């Protein structure tokens, strides 16, 4: 095998153009690198740093980067750490969903325009993982994921309390006066006891688990808690491996195939993964040139049982999941039951099946066996009708109570039907939810619109709406919710969400009025407003969208270029750019 010519040598060791070579070299020597190193033919490896004070979920990467560097050096490479645009799910207003595509864009430019031969993608908080993998897919240079790892388990009053999930629960108790403000805040803090990302199977643990299902990280990477010694060891091994990958020319295009995308969908069902996986995995697939349609989530993933007993679909948290063996145990169990593409290639240089060959058997408690799962058929249901062309419902979080109240009426099994109350964005919801004139009772369906990519802007996590306090006091902790936004992966609500097209561009939710009756048939996937067609068309003709103006330049650009949730909410013009790594930028002088 002939060694491929380093791309970085076009900057630092180009005898055809000594003037430019000198210009490129000079400033990289000024902090102590030597010309010998930069012209040695060693691969130059980027460390795409997503940690910062603004991104606490990923902040441990600031320390892990040292172990990554040592791994890179040990394997004969040279490390260049650089920042990625920060993404913080809970701190960023009006939503971190604006940042995914922005971080993606920035990372593509860095990987294209600087002398890098490979990259370590440091992932963690929800959108950092898809942003980094999307960029690696577009650029198609050797790339490997290193997760920050989840936080340690949280505890409140002697029971496990998951980040996010405890807030959705405790705010109900706050609303009824059962606990006070200080106690409520104490619950939130207790659920986040260490560095790392959410310890529930929220979007962060989901997306890092799916990075492993995709084959983009070393086996076992996803579940190691951030403070554990194995996390630093994984950082070292990841740094070593990327250098080998450069020499093997192992690129994302060989890994991010249709088989890998299907593996992500399959594993997502088995872990009870976040509904945010839909736009993120769809975005990764599209940037990798893999065709995916919304229905794939149901046809590939619905039939898979829920194996992982972790909140919000189950009861344990990250440390329990890690001790039970994490993602490799789940993948091995799926593989043994014909629900995984075992021949998919991974960054380890081996197939998915080879990676998990030595994984242990499920412990039967935190990770269930395929034969005795938490729940059969636990994937997403994909819905369609006059309300939208596509929306999803996460069936793994349908509680017995919810099923009994809404989905088990005689003669109407799995049919959700009720009068809707419609809100235009979350301010409208907060202002009016307690208004008795709305007539909200246990049979009401709450709808929120203008919360999609264009309406918000960036699709916001607002669909899991809490019922009015009076209803909560009567024991109705949740109502069915529908929306064109997203919901937190830490929420246990079986909302109907990611509705596309969104209200802002004339989707059916925009035509809905409070008092209409909506019927969702989970048997057929039909989701319709029971409104006369003539009346529906009258409303369409009179439709005027109602959403706020852009507040920043990026919001305006984003709204102009973004697609819908069902299509991954990518910058549509970006999808055509592939193999950017092969495109050598012009010299800059
Ligand atoms: Fe960052 Fe949950 S808020 S991982
Ligand atoms: Mg979230």
Q: pLDDT tens for residues 449-501?
A: 999 999 999 999 999 999 999 999 998 988 999 999 999 877 778 899 999 99
The tens digit of pLDDT for each residue in 318-327 reads 999 999 999 9
Distance from C-alpha of 352 to C-alpha of 569, rounded to nearest angstrom: 28
- Per-residue pLDDT, averaged over 408-425, amounts to 94
Reported as a pLDDT band with limits 50, 70 and 90, residue 62 is: very high
For residue 537, pLDDT beyond 60: yes
**How high is the pLDDT of residue 492?**
77
Q: Which ligand is nearest to the CA of 88?
A: 1
The tens digit of pLDDT for each residue in 279-332 reads 999 999 999 999 999 999 999 999 999 999 999 999 999 999 999 999 999 999
The ligand 1 atom at the shortest distance from the C-alpha of residue 88 is: 1
Residue with tokens 């890998």: 260
Q: Is the CB of 198 under 6 A from ligand 1?
A: yes
**How high is the pLDDT of residue 39?**
96
Domains and their CATH numbers in the chain: 42-153+193-356 (3.40.50.2300), 381-542 (3.50.30.80)
Q: Is the peptide bond before 328 cis (omega within 30 degrees of 0)?
A: no
For residue 4, pLDDT beyond 70: no
Candidate of 54, 204, 225 to mutate for ligand 1, largest count of ligand atoms within 8 Å of Cβ:
204
- What is the DSSP code (8-state) at residue 80? E
Does the model's ipTM exceed the 0.90 cut?
A: yes
For residue 413, pLDDT beyond 70: yes
Q: Is the CB of 60 under 6 A from ligand 1?
A: no
| Residue 554 token pair | 């990026």
- Which residue's CA is the closest to the ligand 1 atom numbered 1? 125
**How high is the pLDDT of residue 1?**
37
**How high is the pLDDT of residue 410?**
87
For residue 585, pLDDT beyond 70: yes
The tens digit of pLDDT for each residue in 223-278 reads 999 999 999 999 999 999 999 999 999 999 999 999 999 999 999 999 999 999 99
The tens digit of pLDDT for each residue in 427-461 reads 999 999 999 999 999 999 999 999 999 999 999 99
User: Residue 120 pairs with which residues in a beta bridge?
Assistant: 47, 144
The tens digit of pLDDT for each residue in 79-102 reads 999 999 999 999 999 999 999 999
Q: Is the CB of 260 under 6 A from ligand 1?
A: no
SS3 content of the chain, % helix, strand, coil (to 5): 40, 15, 45
Q: Cα of 254 to ligand 1 centre, how many Å?
A: 30
The tens digit of pLDDT for each residue in 7-53 reads 999 999 999 899 999 999 999 999 999 999 999 999 999 999 999 99
Share of the chain above pLDDT 70, in %: 99
Candidate of 125, 130, 317 to mutate for ligand 1, largest count of ligand atoms within 8 Å of Cβ:
125
Q: Which ligand is nearest to the CA of 57?
A: 1
The CA R_g of the chain, rounded to the nearest whole Å, is: 24
For residue 367, pLDDT beyond 60: yes
**How high is the pLDDT of residue 489?**
79
For all residues of the chain together, what is the average pLDDT? 96
DSSP reduced 3-state for 278: helix
Candidate of 54, 86, 89 to mutate for ligand 1, largest count of ligand atoms within 8 Å of Cβ:
89
- Phi, psi angle pair for 345, to nearest 5°: -75, 145
Distance from C-alpha of 207 to C-alpha of 213, rounded to nearest angstrom: 9
The tens digit of pLDDT for each residue in 143-195 reads 999 999 999 999 999 999 999 889 888 988 998 899 999 999 999 999 999 99
- Per-residue pLDDT, averaged over 504-533, amounts to 97
**How high is the pLDDT of residue 2?**
40
Q: Cα of 234 to ligand 1 centre, how many Å?
A: 21
Q: Cα of 490 to ligand 2 centre, how many Å?
A: 7
For residue 3, pLDDT beyond 80: no
**How high is the pLDDT of residue 527?**
98
Write down the pTM of the prediction: 0.97
DSSP reduced 3-state for 102: helix
User: Residue 423 pairs with which residues in a beta bridge?
Assistant: 448
Q: Is the CB of 197 under 6 A from ligand 1?
A: yes
């Amino acid at each position: 095998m002939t060694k491929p010519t380093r791309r970085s040598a076009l900057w630092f060791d180009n005898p055809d153009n000594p003037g430019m070579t000198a210009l490129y070299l000079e400033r990289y020597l000024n902090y102590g690198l030597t010309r010998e190193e930069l012209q040695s033919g060693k691969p130059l490896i980027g460390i795409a740093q997503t940690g910062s004070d603004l991104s606490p979920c990923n902040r441990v990467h600031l320390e892990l980067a040292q172990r990554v560097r040592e791994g890179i050096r040990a394997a004969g490479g040279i490390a260049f750490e650089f920042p990625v645009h920060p993404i913080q799910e809970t701190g960023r207003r009006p939503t971190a969903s604006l940042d995914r595509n922005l971080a993606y864009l920035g990372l593509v430019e860095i990987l294209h325009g600087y002398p890098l031969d490979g990259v370590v993608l440091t992932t963690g908080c929800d959108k950092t993982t898809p942003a980094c993998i999307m960029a690696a897919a577009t650029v198609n240079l050797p790339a490997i994921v290193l997760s920050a790892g989840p936080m340690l388990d949280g505890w409140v009053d002697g029971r496990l309390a998951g980040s996010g999930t405890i807030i959705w629960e405790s705010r109900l108790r706050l609303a009824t006066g059962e606990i006070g403000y200080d106690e409520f805040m104490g619950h939130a803090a207790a659920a986040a006891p260490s560095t790392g990302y959410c310890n529930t199977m929220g979007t962060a643990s989901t997306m890092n688990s799916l990075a492993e299902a995709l084959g983009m990280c070393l086996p076992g990477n996803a579940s190691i808690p951030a403070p554990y010694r194995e996390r630093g060891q994984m950082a070292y091994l990841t740094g070593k491996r990327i250098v080998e990958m450069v020499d093997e020319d192992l690129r994302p295009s060989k890994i991010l195939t249709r088989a890998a995308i299907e593996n992500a969908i399959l594993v997502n069902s088995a872990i009870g993964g976040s509904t945010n996986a839909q736009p993120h995995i769809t975005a990764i697939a599209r940037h990798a040139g893999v065709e995916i349609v919304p229905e794939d989530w149901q046809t590939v993933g619905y039939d898979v049982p829920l194996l992982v007993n972790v909140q919000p679909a189950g009861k344990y948290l990250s440390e329990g999941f890690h001790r039970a063996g994490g993602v490799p145990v789940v993948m091995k169990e799926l593989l043994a039951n014909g629900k995984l593409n075992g021949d998919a290639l991974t960054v380890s240089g081996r197939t998915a099946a080879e990676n998990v060959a030595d994984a242990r058997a499920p412990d039967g408690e935190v990770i269930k066996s395929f034969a005795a799962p938490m729940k059969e058929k636990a994937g997403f249901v994909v819905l369609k009708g006059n309300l939208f062309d596509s929306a999803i419902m996460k069936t793994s979080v349908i509680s017995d109570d919810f099923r009994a109240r809404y989905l088990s009426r005689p003669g109407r099994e799995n049919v959700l039907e009720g009068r809707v109350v419609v809100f235009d964005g979350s301010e409208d919801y907060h202002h009016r939810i307690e208004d008795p004139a709305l007539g909200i009772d246990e049979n009401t369906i709450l709808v929120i619109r203008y919360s999609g990519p264009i309406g918000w802007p960036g699709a916001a996590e607002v669909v899991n709406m809490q019922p009015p306090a009076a209803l909560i006091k009567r024991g109705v902790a949740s109502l069915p919710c529908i929306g064109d936004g997203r919901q937190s992966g830490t929420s246990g609500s079986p909302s109907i969400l990611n509705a596309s097209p969104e209200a802002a561009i004339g989707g059916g939710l925009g035509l809905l009025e409070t008092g209409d009756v909506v019927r969702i048939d989970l048997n057929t996937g039909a989701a319709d407003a029971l409104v006369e067609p003539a009346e529906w068309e009258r409303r369409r003709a009179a439709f005027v969208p109602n959403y706020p103006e852009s507040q920043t330049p990026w919001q305006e650009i984003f709204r102009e270029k973004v697609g819908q949730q069902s299509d991954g909410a990518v910058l549509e013009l970006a999808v055509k750019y592939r193999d950017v790594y092969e495109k050598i930028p012009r010299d800059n002088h």
